């Protein structure tokens, strides 16, 4: 179960890194300083996701904490999307369903990953390295 958990979380982090990388690639072609800063931040986050996913497979000790940090960041972002859709009354009329569905799609694998990271067998497997 521990190997499955680490592979699942690693794949989710790699997919997130890919999505962030594509978004960063699009940001580099915008005009102005804001787009450059956004592209740099997204590129760094994408690299961090790929590095953390690879470290989980290699059973690095720091990878557990980096997976938690990425999970907390994604959960906060997903919660913001859901809150923006229902509570804050989305900025664009008719976009409430899209924001809520993006939040749910981001939150579901994150919560599954949190549950798998909390398993004693997964933590034990990482600490034996």
SS (H, E, C) 47-74: HHHHHHHHHHHHCCCHHHHHHHHHHHHH
Using DSSP, state whether 129 is helix, strand or coil: coil
pLDDT over 90, % of the chain: 0
Which pLDDT score, from 0 to 100, does residue 91 have? 57
pLDDT band at residue 74 under the 50/70/90 scheme? confident
Q: 21-25, 98-102, 104-108, 122-126: which range is least confident on average?
A: 98-102
Which pLDDT score, from 0 to 100, does residue 96 have? 62
pLDDT at residue 65 greater than cutoff 70: yes
Cα gap 98→94, rounded to integer Å:
8
User: pTM for the full model?
Assistant: 0.74
Domain boundaries of the chain, sorted by first residue: 2-127
pLDDT one-digit tens code per residue, 89-120: 655 566 667 777 888 888 888 899 888 888 88
pLDDT band at residue 126 under the 50/70/90 scheme? confident
Mean pLDDT on 45-54: 88
User: Where is pLDDT greater, at 29 or 115?
Assistant: 115
Which residues, 6 or more positions from 13, have their beta carbon under 8 angstroms from its beta carbon? 49, 50, 52, 53, 56, 67, 70
């Amino acid at each position: 179960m521990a190997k499955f958990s680490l592979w699942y979380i690693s794949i989710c982090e790699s997919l997130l890194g890919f999505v962030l990388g594509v978004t960063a690639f699009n940001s580099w072609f915008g005009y102005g300083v804001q787009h450059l800063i956004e592209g740099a931040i997204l590129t760094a986050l994408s690299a961090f996701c790929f590095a953390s996913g690879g470290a989980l497979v290699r059973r690095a000790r720091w990878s557990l904490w980096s997976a938690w940090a990425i999970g907390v960041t994604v959960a906060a972002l997903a919660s913001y999307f859901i809150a923006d859709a229902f509570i804050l009354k989305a900025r664009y009329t008719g976009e409430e369903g899209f924001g809520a569905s993006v939040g749910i799609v981001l939150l579901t694998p994150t919560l599954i990953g949190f549950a798998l990271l909390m398993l004693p067998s997964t933590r034990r497997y990482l600490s034996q390295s």
